[in-house]
Structure 1
Amino acid sequence: MKIDKLTKNINTKQVLSDICFSAELNEVIGLIGRNGSGKTSLFRTIAGHYLPDSGDVLIDGQSILTHPELKTMIFYIDEQTHFLSSYSLKKIGIFYQNAYPNFNYEQFIALINAHNLPVNNSFRSMSKGMQGLFKVILAITSNAPYLLLDEPFDGLDVIVKKNVIRLLLENLSDGTRTVIIASHNLNELETIIDRALILKDATIKQDYRLEEMRAQARKVQMVFRTKKVPSFIKENSKLLRVQGRVIIAVFENYTEEIERQIKEVDPVLLEELPLALEDLFEANLSRESDYQLFN
């Protein structure tokens, strides 16, 4: 699937601007952005719920705008316009069986029973945790090649969350599907994704492949003899914290030359810290007003 220069305006506000990325089969991609950054709008536009003002969504080189049948290759549930909430889980399954040509109804019922979900109860009568688990079951059994999951871990307790993640990973092992997950639960997201797309100012600002990022990037704590931050550090890193003489920064391409330059200014302390997905989120998406910086 290729997202090609996707742009969308809603009520004169630009919510998506020139979005470009490709999603290959057998990838798990995290879509990360602050509240209101456009994650849900992007999902709605990819799924065809919104028409883009410009740009396109291509599957195998074909546009879903001119080939609407391709929408059955994309699974997405829009929380705000989910009109099936009053129906029983069984009836919802039948609806999706008619909507998705490769829907596996036998697997659907088997997973419902295996997780003790009340098949004859309405969706809205269930707890948030049960609803989240059910939506992942729907996504898996749709057999759509591209799954768009919007906050699938939101509001789930620890046990249900682990079940959802395990169920998702077990059913992606055949390598025939791609999952894009928008989530604020970065700790859980980091354990399952291959890539992280950073959405800011209505566009994709960064596309991290986590294996490469872990090999090249470093989170470093430094303490200098003065409160002045060396200019080469500002130029080569993203500052996470500056408090007095203590600096914590993320270097996305930490080289021997950068380490040599740091040591040349004779820091009181130079220490590498564990680098997490949350650090990339903070480095790319925080504003100066979010923190009180002491220089």
Structure 2
Amino acid sequence: MKVTNLRKQMNEEIIITQINFELFENEIVGLIGRNGSGKTTLFRTIAGNYLPETGDIQVAGASIYQDPTKKAEIFYIDELDNFLSGYTLKKLNHFYRYAYPKFDQDLYLQLLAENQFPEHLSYRRMSKGMQGLYQMILAIASGANYLLLDEPFDGLDVIVRKKVIGLLLEHVAEKGCSVLIASHNLKELEDIIDRALLLKGKTIVREYCLESMRENARKLQLVFKTKKVPAVVKENSKLLTIQGRVITAVFERFTPELEQAIQACEPVLMEELPLSLEDLFEANLNRESMIQ
């Protein structure tokens, strides 16, 4: 899937603009951003629930606006405008078999049986966790190559969450599909995603490959002789905290040369700390730098 120059506005207010990214086979991508940053609007636009003012979405080289059949390659359940609650699982099964030509009925029935979901069960009578698990079953059985999951682990207890994640990882490994996940639980995302897209200021401002991040980025705690922060730190890092003379900062491209330059400033303390996706999120989304 290729998303190009996507722009959506509502009531004359721009919600997302200049959105550009690609999704590839056999990968899980995290979409991270603050509340209200436009994650749900982006999902709704990709899924075809909203029409963009400008831009295009291509699946297998064809625009979903020129070839509407390509929309069947995209799976998305809008949790904020969810039509599922009024139906039984049997009726929902009929709807999704019609909506997705590659729907795997055998797999669907197998997963229902394994998780003890009777077909006559009403969706609204299911617990939050069971609803989340059922939505994952629908996503996996849909046969869609691109799964858009908006907060799929929200409100799930530990046991159900592990089951949902296990189903997802197994499906990606077997079918080679692509998954885009928006989640507030960055620690959970970090354990399963290959890349992260950072949504800020109505657009995607940064893309992280998790493997590359672990190789090249560093989180350091630094103490210098005075409270003045050396220029090399200001210019090459993103601040997390300053407490007195103690600086905690993220260096996204930490090279031997940069390390030597910091050492030349004679820090009293220079200690590497564990770096997480949450650190990158916090460092990039701080409204104002605390380094003066």
Query: So what's the TM-score if we normalise by structure 1?
Result: 0.96
Cα distance in structure 2, aligned partners of 1:176 and 1:232: 43
For residue 174 of structure 1, report the CA deviation from its aligned partner.
2.2
1:248 equivalent in structure 2:
248
- Give the match for residue 86 of structure 1: 86
Q: Deviations over 1:216-257 (max 9, x none)?
A: 100111011111111111110111111110001110100111
User: Residue 50 in 1 paired to residue 50 in 2?
Assistant: yes
Q: Is the CA contact (8 Å cut-off) linking 1:244 and 1:294 kept in structure 2?
A: no
The answer to whether the 8 A contact 2:239-2:291 is kept is: no
Contact 1:237–1:250 (Cα < 8 Å) also in 2? yes
Alpha-carbon separation, structure 2, partners of 1:285 and 1:128 = 30
Please report the RMSD computed on the Cα atoms of aligned residues, expressed in angstroms: 1.3
Match of 2:198 in 1: 198
Question: What is the rounded CA distance, in whole Å, between the counterparts of 2:272 and 2:175 in structure 1?
Answer: 35
Unaligned runs of 5+ in 1: none
Q: Paired residue for 2:132? A: 132
**Paired AA for residue 76 in structure 2:** Y
Equivalent residue runs for 1:17-166 within 5 Å: 17-166=17-166
Deviation, structure 1 residue 263: 1.0
Structure 1 residue identity aligned to 2:117: L
Q: Secondary structure at the residue paired with 1:85? A: helix
Indicate if the aligned counterparts of 1:48 and 1:71 stay in contact, CA closer than 8 A: yes
Map of 1:221 onto structure 2: 221
**What letter is aligned with 1:136?**
M
Query: Is the 1:243–1:294 Cα contact (8 Å) retained in structure 2?
Result: no
CA–CA separation in structure 2 for the residues paired with 1:161 and 1:230: 45
Q: Deviations over 1:24-46 (max 9, x none)?
A: 11111000000000000000000
How many equivalent pairs are there? 292
More deviation, 116-125/233-242: 116-125
Between 1:27-36 and 1:79-88, the stretch displaced more is 79-88
2:269 is the alignment partner of 1:269: yes
Q: Distance in 1 between matches of 2:22 and 2:253?
A: 23
Deviation at 1:169, TM superposition (A): 0.6
Aligned equivalents of 2:130, 2:288: Cα separation in 1: 39
Instruction: Give 1:175 shift.
Output: 4.6
For residue 120 of structure 1, what is the amino acid of its counterpart?
H
Residue 10 of structure 2 aligns with an amino acid whose one-letter code is: I
Q: Which residue type is aligned with residue 90 of structure 2?
A: K
Contact 2:19 2:203 in 1 (8 A): yes
Provide structure 2 residue ranges, at least 5 long, that are not aligned to the other structure: none
- Report SS of the residue matched to 1:174: helix
Cα separation, 2, equivalents of 1:175 and 1:214: 27
Quote the Cα distance in structure 1 between the aligned partners of 2:261 and 2:216: 17
* Equivalent residues of 2:27, 2:176 under 8 A apart: no
Deviation sequence 1:50-91 (CA, Å, 0-9, x none): 000000101122111111111000000011222221101121
Percent identical residues: 59
CA distance in 1, matches of 2:172, 2:90: 24
SS of residue in 2 equivalent to 1:147: strand
Q: Is the 8 A contact 1:148 1:180 kept in 2?
A: yes
User: With structure 2 as the length reference, what TM-score do the two structures score?
Assistant: 0.97
CA distance in 2, matches of 1:119, 1:229: 64
| Contact 1:6 1:17 (C-alpha < 8 Å) held by counterparts | yes
Given that 1:7 and 1:55 are in contact with CA atoms closer than 8 Å, whether structure 2 keeps it comes out as: yes
Matches of 1:173 and 1:249, distance apart in 2 = 36
Q: Secondary structure at the match of 1:173?
A: helix
Q: Provide the secondary structure at the position in 2 that maps to 1:254.
A: coil
Partner residue in 1 for 2:179:
179
